[in-house]
Amino acid sequence: MKHAAHTALGALAAICALGMSAPAIAAWEPVRPVEFIVPAGTGGGADQMARTIQGIVTKHNLMKQPLVVINKSGGAGGEGFLDVKSSGGNPHKIIITLSNLFTTPLATGIPFSWKDLTPVAMLALDEFVLWVNAEKPYKTAKEYIEAVKAAPAGSMKMGGTGSKQEDQIITVAVEKATGSKFTYIPYKGGGEVAVQLVGNHVDSTVNNPIEAVAQWRGGKLRPLCVFDAQPMAYDEQIADGKSWKDIPTCKSQGLDMEYVMLRGIFMSPRATKDQIEYYVELFKKVRATPEWQDFMKSGAFNTTFLTGADYAKWLETEDKRHQTLMKDAGFLAAAGN
Amino acid sequence: MEELVNLFHGFAVALQPFNIMVMVVGIVLGVLIGVLPGLGGANGVAILLPLTFSMSPTSAIIMLSCIYWGALFGGAITSILFNIPGEPWSVATTFDGYPMAQKGKAGEALTAAFTSSFVGALFAVVMITLVAPLVASFALQFGPAEKFAVYFLAFCSFVGLSKEPPFKTIAAMMIGFALAAVGLDSITGQLRLTFGMTHLLNGFDFLIAVIGLFGIGEILLTMEEGLAFRGGNAKINLRVVLQTWKELPAYWITSLRSCLIGCWMGVTPAGATPASFMSYGIAKRVAKKGNNFGKGEIEGVVAPETAAHAAGTAALLPMLSLGVPGSPTAAVLLGGLLIWGLQPGPMLFVEQKEFVWGLIASMYLGNIVGLLVVLTCVPVFAAILRVPFSIIAPLILVLCAIGAYSVHSSTFDVVLMLVFGVIGYLLKKANYPLAPLVLAIVLGDKAEEAFRQSLLGSQGSLGIFFSNTLVSSIMVLGLIALFWSAIQQGYTRLRGATA
């Protein structure tokens, strides 16, 4: 009897395998619509990425159940993270993160940490570039920093997205590395920041490539350096005969600061191995589509893909680093009160 | 001239049968979305965005922008019939639209609202067609100080015009400011007034407050007055449309002024809400029948609707040419552009001619289609008021609850809506005006943010608000609006003394 059952199971598995085009059969699949939480407002970088993924999944039929994007931006994203944290054991909820995964609990004291969630995969890393208005004479980061140092302390304005988040962390780190002093002005969104720079209402920004590329191509902005360990990989010409690859690293310009932003996926707590595996496979398929590759190229993303233990280790390191950066900058909630 | 050639090419694109079909579907969906309070244009467009990925970018943007137009038209319907504004910029429409409906003139009010919306949108599209590059560079001059000046002007023109005692107006506005302050302080990154409650992290959403204050508050008032639903004798045939059209040209000055205000606000990009309030305020001040505003004056519907639509349409210009969305819906559309592989910015007009001019042509056509669709439905909408109150009130309540829930998918918001309903009822009983409160909730945190950004930049000096001609002139306009009645009184007294 036992033997017969095995044979029957084997036959069943064979039929299933024949029915599927992919060799790996996911042991778990969503049985109702999956909520895709964005801990930021509509139109921002994380939101764009989430909606692109949603579009790709729909267009290529990668999921049997719909993927629904929901923005929960309250409290610098804390609303979204708390929502996922409190949905333990619900595999139909995933969240895309930005650096507020680390900064929001530190700056606001909202009770959560990335360890409360289940890491799924790192999709990409977003770069940061130092931008100035193209009308200004500064051709290199060195020239610009000299000008900032020469000006009265605090008279040069750095525009950025949000307060006590990635843009301001970088600003403070630049100040520390060079002994300069900026006045940091927080705005709601990256696109707005880029336009404020075009209108000369601020002196520089650390916009992500996708937020400022249109203004660079329009000849309004000039990139000075990228805050990464090596130059970006894309060598397609963008403006005045330059490509992303031609932008030097800030370190090579004497500005010793590296910062990249996580675009990663997490699940609610207590997810099973099969469930994690399902989403990892899903995002592997998303990454293989031409739409995704176009999107990566248009935003000059660093396309590192990590899962499992490697991803967790990366998160661990970045978490420690953010604690140090935030503490040094005086951005911790306890210090602020 | 090159623009006109491009535009005709754009019409050729927009008039393809598939695109026309997409347009009609978009408008109808949009009207439905606009009628449901809370769902709103931005949510509607966001939900339907993935549907468009299989289309060409031009068809996709035509569909989405038509949903946007439809939602703009639809927002006026609930404002006029039930005093429930579905979008921030429909609030000013309720001031005279709802009293008109109560007087049995729902058909007239709806026709006036739809027609004005169309005029405003058309004016803005013509402006986009002719002066797009010029206007875009004007928008660049708006830093935080200039933005604050615009909000300041919106508040001032509202306080100055109010007939209620100034004390009550200011008190209501202060409650609004306090509510707007809840949530994350975007300048310091700290939480404010949340008392450790995760529900309050996002602050008080405008839509929840408005659905409660206006919608639920109104139902409570009507219940008290004996369940009678005024306005049941509204005319329900299409003749009302023609009759109203005969009346409308008399208000051409108000229309033109509202168009200009709307375009200016849309481009700056302060948005449609200050535009509608400002336009209503100024019309009330300068119109011959200004004293009747608030009691059901058709001009009081024309002014805010024209300005809101002109602004809503003009807001697409900074989005296309600068990549800065002028409204939440424009922000979602912006996301769509990027997904279709289009980079909004100065180069879009050069590199993607077919797309840009197809979109502009579809703005003309979409608005015409939209006007036809909603006007034919005027009798149907007006007939809703004939349904007995005891049947319609529970339905409105359910719609309000669904609307409040759909804003953040949270049941807490539904409770909050009911609380706001009771507050609205009490404030009305005590004769406190609701409009300043709502205005402060909508614009309070934006004004605060712009004010503090300016002061950060100027290192604390208030001089930044008078540092160049643009910002000083807006500030002076605001001060004049604020002290208008005092100035007027002083003037008459002066004249009395010399006579």
pLDDT computed for residue A16 by the predictor: 45
Same domain, A225 and A286: no
Nearest residue to B372 (alpha-carbon basis) of B120, B126, B117: B117
Task: Give CA–CA dist B71/B73, Å, rounded.
Answer: 5
Pairing of strands A34-38, A67-71: parallel
pLDDT computed for residue A136 by the predictor: 95
Q: Which residue among A253, A281, A313 closes a domain?
A: A253
HSE-CB of B420 using CA atoms within 13 angstroms: 29
Same domain, A117 and A133: no
3-class state of residue B467 by DSSP: coil
Residue B258 pLDDT more than 90? yes
Contact B142 A294 (CB under 8 A): no
Q: Which residue among A197, A232, A253 closes a domain?
A: A253
- From B53, B144, B198, residue closest to A55, measured CB to CB: B53
- What residue numbers bound the domain in which B42 lies? 2-498
Contacts of A109 in chain B (CB under 8 A): 191
Contacts of A215 in chain B (CB under 8 A): 323, 345-346
pLDDT computed for residue A261 by the predictor: 94
pLDDT computed for residue B205 by the predictor: 81
CATH of the domain at A212: 3.40.190.10
Please say whether the beta carbons of A45 and A210 come within 8 A.
yes
Domain annotation covers residue A12: no
Residue B239 pLDDT more than 90? no
Nearest residue to A304 (alpha-carbon basis) of A262, A257, A245, A274: A262
Residue A300 pLDDT more than 70? yes
Same domain, A162 and A309: no
In tens, the pLDDT along A181-199 reads: 999 999 988 878 988 999 9
Residue B132 pLDDT more than 80? no
pLDDT computed for residue B252 by the predictor: 92
pLDDT computed for residue B40 by the predictor: 64
Same domain, A117 and A266: yes
pLDDT computed for residue A17 by the predictor: 44
Q: Mean per-residue pLDDT for B176-187?
A: 90
3-class state of residue A162 by DSSP: coil
Q: pLDDT band for position B2 (50/70/90)?
A: confident
Domain annotation covers residue A1: no
Contacts of A75 in chain B (CB under 8 A): 183-184, 191, 194, 198, 201-202
pLDDT computed for residue B237 by the predictor: 74
Identify the sign of the CA torsion B451, B454, B460, B463.
negative
Task: Give CA–CA dist A72/A81, Å, rounded.
Answer: 8
Number of domains in chain B: 1
Contacts of A164 in chain B (CB under 8 A): 188-189
Task: Give CA–CA dist B278/B272, Å, rounded.
Answer: 10
Same domain, A51 and A156: no
Same domain, A206 and A279: no
Weakest-pLDDT range from A53-67, B76-90, B413-427, B440-454: B76-90
pLDDT computed for residue A25 by the predictor: 54
Same domain, A112 and A47: yes
In tens, the pLDDT along B259-298 reads: 999 988 888 766 788 889 889 988 888 888 878 888 889 9
CA distances from B436 to A147, A153, A165, B279 (A): 47, 41, 34, 15
3-class state of residue A239 by DSSP: strand
Domain annotation covers residue A184: yes
pLDDT computed for residue B38 by the predictor: 61
Residue B336 pLDDT more than 80? no
Q: pLDDT band for position B1 (50/70/90)?
A: low
| Chosen from A37, A196, A337 to mutate, greatest number of chain B CBs within 10 A | A196
Nearest residue to B230 (alpha-carbon basis) of B356, B342, B388: B388
Q: pLDDT band for position B14 (50/70/90)?
A: confident
Same domain, A140 and A246: yes
Nearest residue to A187 (alpha-carbon basis) of B459, B401, B291, B147: B147
Contacts of B334 in chain A (CB under 8 A): 43, 191
pLDDT computed for residue B166 by the predictor: 78
Exposure b/e, B265-300, CB count within 10 A at least 16 = b: bbbbbbbbbbbbbbbbbbbbbebeebeebbebbbbb
Q: pLDDT band for position A2 (50/70/90)?
A: very low
CA distances from B263 to A230, B64, B277, B318, B450 (A): 46, 21, 14, 11, 21
Q: Mean per-residue pLDDT for A235-239?
A: 90
Q: pLDDT band for position A336 (50/70/90)?
A: very low
pLDDT computed for residue B325 by the predictor: 67
Q: Which residue has the higher pLDDT, B45 or A72?
A: A72
pLDDT computed for residue B398 by the predictor: 87
In tens, the pLDDT along A20-60 reads: 444 445 589 999 999 999 998 766 788 888 888 988 898 88
| B398 burial level (CB within 10 Å; 0-12, 13-18, 19+) | exposed
pLDDT computed for residue B155 by the predictor: 85
pLDDT computed for residue B195 by the predictor: 86
Same domain, A139 and A210: yes
pLDDT computed for residue A284 by the predictor: 96
CA-based nearest distance B456→chain A, Å: 7
Domain annotation covers residue A21: no
Q: Which residue has the higher pLDDT, A182 or A239?
A: A182
Nearest residue to A210 (alpha-carbon basis) of A289, A96, A293, A127: A127
Average predicted confidence (pLDDT) for chain A: 88
Weakest-pLDDT range from B109-118, B192-201, B217-226, B316-325: B316-325
3-class state of residue B407 by DSSP: helix
CA-based nearest distance A177→chain B, Å: 23
Q: Give me the amino acid identity at B94.
A: T
Q: pLDDT band for position B233 (50/70/90)?
A: low
Residue A227 pLDDT more than 60? yes
Nearest residue to A88 (alpha-carbon basis) of A281, A320, A269, A254: A269
Q: pLDDT band for position B400 (50/70/90)?
A: confident
Task: Give CA–CA dist B481/B158, Å, rounded.
Answer: 8
pLDDT computed for residue B472 by the predictor: 93
pLDDT computed for residue B214 by the predictor: 85
Same domain, A229 and A185: yes
Q: Which residue among A222, A237, A253 closes a domain?
A: A253
Structure tokens at B45: 């467009």
Residue A139 pLDDT more than 80? yes
Nearest residue to B145 (alpha-carbon basis) of B480, B444, B443, B464: B464
Same domain, A117 and A39: yes
Same domain, A144 and A163: yes
Q: Which residues contact B220 (CB under 8 A, 6 or more apart)?
A: B421, B422, B424, B425
Task: Give CA–CA dist B423/B416, Å, rounded.
Answer: 11
Residues in chain A: 337
Residues in chain B: 499
Structure tokens at B442: 């909508």
Task: Give CA–CA dist B494/B490, Å, rounded.
Answer: 6
Q: Mean per-residue pLDDT for B457-480?
A: 91
Domain annotation covers residue A17: no
CA-based nearest distance A67→chain B, Å: 10
Pairing of strands A306-307, A261-267: unpaired
Find where tokens 């339907």 sit.
B48
- Percent with pLDDT over 70 in chain B: 91
DSSP B213-267: IIIIHHHHHHHHTTS--TTTT---STHHHHHHHHHGGGGHHHHHHHHHHHHHHHH
Q: Angle between the B57-82 and B299-314 helix axes, to the nearest 10 degrees?
A: 160
In tens, the pLDDT along B304-322 reads: 999 998 998 888 887 787 7
pLDDT computed for residue A18 by the predictor: 44
CATH of the domain at A93: 3.40.190.150
- What residue numbers bound the domain in which A203 lies? 129-253
Size of interface A-B (CB pairs under 8 A): 158
Contacts of B190 in chain A (CB under 8 A): 107-108, 333, 336-337
Contact B335 A69 (CB under 8 A): no
pTM listed for this prediction? 0.85
In tens, the pLDDT along A278-288 reads: 999 999 999 99
pLDDT computed for residue B37 by the predictor: 66
Task: Give CA–CA dist B478/B480, Å, rounded.
Answer: 5
Domain annotation covers residue A320: yes
pLDDT computed for residue A23 by the predictor: 45
Q: pLDDT band for position B161 (50/70/90)?
A: low
pLDDT computed for residue B227 by the predictor: 63
Please say whether the beta carbons of B193 and B200 come within 8 A.
yes
Q: Which residues contact A279 (CB under 8 A, 6 or more apart)?
A: A94, A120, A121, A265, A267
Number of domains in chain A: 2
A254-268, A322-336, B141-155, B286-300: which is most confident: A254-268
Q: Which residue has the higher pLDDT, B237 or B474?
A: B474
Task: Give CA–CA dist B455/B460, Å, rounded.
Answer: 5
Residue B34 pLDDT more than 80? no
Contact A163 B142 (CB under 8 A): no
Pairing of strands A118-126, A261-267: antiparallel
Contacts of B144 in chain A (CB under 8 A): 185, 201
Contact A74 B46 (CB under 8 A): no
Contact B143 A199 (CB under 8 A): yes
CA distances from A271 to A93, B87, B182, B359 (A): 10, 39, 34, 45
Q: pLDDT band for position A74 (50/70/90)?
A: confident
Domain annotation covers residue A153: yes
CA-based nearest distance A151→chain B, Å: 14
